């Protein structure tokens, strides 16, 4: 409607779990809207809507194949996230097994639910910069 388009940051885009799921699907190969719809158990308009957001953010690209549209990944914008993350990596830099835990989660691509549990709690980490006079 308005002429000015709401420019969303990549961070806002991947904040949505369904969109993350879609991106995750496209990692392996391109998919049609219908495939995504079925695999992620989302309604067709919902998929299209998310794809639109992803498309406008440059995270996916589409090709017309007759009646269907094939969507493929374009993860370049994710580099911004990767870059933002950089300074924080120095903190845990030691060893990360989180990646493996992730891949498991990734295998069962199916997070259509609105809220997911998740429980990562804080294990004290090499504390740089501690408070000085914090007694009592």
Partner DNA sequence: AGAGTATATACGTGTCAAGATATATACACA
Partner DNA sequence: TGTGTATATATCTTGACACGTATATACTCT
* Contacting positions for a copy of itself (CB under 8 A): 6-7, 9, 11-12, 14-15, 17, 20, 23-24, 27, 29-30, 58, 61, 63-66, 70, 72-89, 91-92, 96, 98-99, 101-103, 106, 115-118, 120-123, 125, 127, 129-134, 136
The least CB distance from residue 10 to DNA, in Å, is: 13
Phi-psi region of 118 (alpha: psi -120 to 50; beta: other; left: phi over 0): left
Non-local (6+) Cβ contacts of 14 within 8 A are: 20, 23, 78, 81
DSSP conformational letter for 55: H
Q: Residue 47's CB: how many other CB atoms inside 10 A? A: 22
Give dist(CA 62, CA 50) in Å, integer. 13
Determine if 14 is a binding residue for DNA (CB under 7 A). Answer: no
Determine if 110 is a binding residue for DNA (CB under 7 A). Answer: no
Query: Where does this chain bind DNA (CB under 7 A)?
Result: 6, 8, 12, 15-16, 18-19, 32-34, 37, 42-53, 62, 64, 66-69, 112, 114, 136
């Amino acid at each position: 409607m308005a002429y000015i388009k709401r420019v969303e940051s990549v961070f806002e885009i991947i904040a949505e779990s369904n969109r993350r799921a879609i991106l995750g699907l496209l990692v392996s190969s391109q998919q049609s809207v219908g495939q995504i719809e079925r695999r992620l158990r989302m309604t067709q308009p919902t998929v299209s809507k998310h794809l639109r957001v992803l498309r406008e953010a440059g995270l996916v690209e589409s090709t017309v194949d007759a009646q269907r549209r094939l969507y493929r990944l374009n993860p370049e914008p994710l580099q911004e996230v990767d870059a933002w993350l950089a300074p924080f990596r120095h903190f845990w830099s030691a060893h990360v097994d989180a990646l493996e835990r992730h891949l498991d989660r990734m295998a069962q691509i199916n997070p259509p639910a609105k809220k997911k549990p998740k429980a990562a709690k804080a294990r004290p980490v090499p504390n740089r910069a501690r408070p000085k006079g914090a007694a009592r």
